[in-house]
Chain A
Amino acid sequence: MRWFWIDRYEEFVRGRHATAVKNVSLAEEHLHDHFPGVAIMPNSLIVEGMAQAAGLLVADAIDFNRRVVLAKVAAAEFFFDAVPGDTIRFKAEVLDLKPAGSLTKVISTVGDRIQGQAELFFAHLEPGEGVPKLFETDELLRWLDQMHIYEIGRDEAGNPLSRPDW
């Protein structure tokens, strides 16, 4: 089982920015204990959602040929709690992208209110010794399909993204 903290993308512009959606539901078991009678989506998991939204954006931009690992969470701030029934939108933006790492900014919104924001720094690790394989290619492709990346994704010029032939 993997933890998926985004449901799908609504917008995905290769190497630039993307918007992913997360619907918070009381059907999620972790909310039953956090807290009984007053369910609140933990902000730590919102950071994970931010990291997934921005991480796939970065990994796609470098053709998935390095392992994109969340290395630092900088300047994270939260302004109110997300609760069951809320739709969180993660608006991710690539601020800087290099072979060895990338800096991104993600804002989470509920409706038109900013719920939180963070700068996320990713290290891009080369496959090899000491770097575990994060995904099997078919598993990764299933996830990308589930995220609707090749339905709504565009490159900078506005052309549809082609689904990789792995």
Chain B
Amino acid sequence: MPSREEIFDKVKSALVDALGVDEDDVTPGATMVGDLGAESIDFLDIVFRLEKAFNIKISRGELFPEDVLSSSEFVAEGKVTPAGIAALKARMPFADLSKFESNPSVQNFANTLTVEDMVRYVQSKLAA
């Protein structure tokens, strides 16, 4: 199992290639959408690059749970319901959702995922 630093370096290089950002911008606390400018299509590109870099398989919706966020079961009036939060936590144990919980509007979700979440995600996949 590679070290956290080795994982971070590979994640960083995937994000630099996929998003065309500078290496210096890819800090652990940087948000994927707000700080690095990732759009929905970029997440697909990032999935491709992470799969290749780490030799892992990433299923659709695993990294970015668009199905939960667009589900009428889990979203009411633009906000993710407590059941939805529970679903997100179950699906994304690697992500720190504490900030999102305080204002769980769907629009906010995009700004929740950070580079560190990506690193933790890869760690969890490699440990599985």
Contacts and interface: CB of A to CB of B under 8 A. Distances in A.
A133 interface: no
A123 B20 contact: no
A72 B17 CA distance: 11
Contacts, number: 28
A114 interface: no
B44 A101 contact: yes
A123 B39 CA distance: 13
A74 B48 CA distance: 13
Interface residues of B, number: 11
Please classify the interface of chain A as helix (H, G, I), strand (E, B), loop, or mixed, using the class held by over half of its residues.
Answer: strand
B45 A121 contact: yes
7 contacts: A72-B42, A72-B45, A74-B45, A96-B52, A101-B48, A123-B41, A123-B44
Interface of B: 17-18, 20, 41-42, 44-45, 48, 51-52, 60
Closest 6 CB pairs of A and B: A71-B41, A101-B44, A96-B48, A103-B48, A121-B45, A123-B41
